[in-house]
Structure 1
């Protein structure tokens, strides 16, 4: 008796070294992944954020400590590294905010199409990186 069953497709695990380097993620995928990364980064750096806020508003002396953290550093950490970490926090906040507003807009208006997803993702990436560059230039004293 001949078998009438069709051959089922075979799914294999992807090779992370070989396959992930050639896979092109769409802009909406990058925004989604970066939204999660920025949220995790803000959560992990929350103690630093709270310390920075506390020392900046407690008193004039603590505000001087806050300002010296950016020039002289904190302990063994140089000031440039402190500025880079704060720049990462700035990017994380801006990207998380803009990407979150993008997701809310899409949820409220049911604007789920491939074209809108791509254009809004590119807008999110350009805006968050552009604002980070502007605020980073201010942080590093370029203006």
Structure 2
């Protein structure tokens, strides 16, 4: 029986693949568990259209991510003022929410999960680098300067 896989199954194939399985396996297990659909002409065309739509949506997301990356790269550096001790250790820390607020003041809005702190929270004065990743596999570095605000 020819079926189209809706999910990836080990030793059978990847999602979207057209495979041939035994009739009983398809009728008794795969179809009731909604892991496959029958490979009729109608279902094949429907599935191909849905794949094309998914690819189109993914391409749009990638283009949007690249535009946002360019916008972030136009900013040379983010400056954050924090009180600190004499040993250049700031009181508290600079986290993702502080970075998001600084970017929002410059007109760039990002989500919390798009900012990655490779070395954890920023706790010292100076230059730091964080990663902005708006879409999987697409990222850029953001330079952050933490400056003492003691008066």
Higher relative contact order (CA 8 A, sep 6+): 1
Larger-gyration structure (1/2) = 2
More strand by share: 2
TM-score, normalising length: structure 2: 0.26
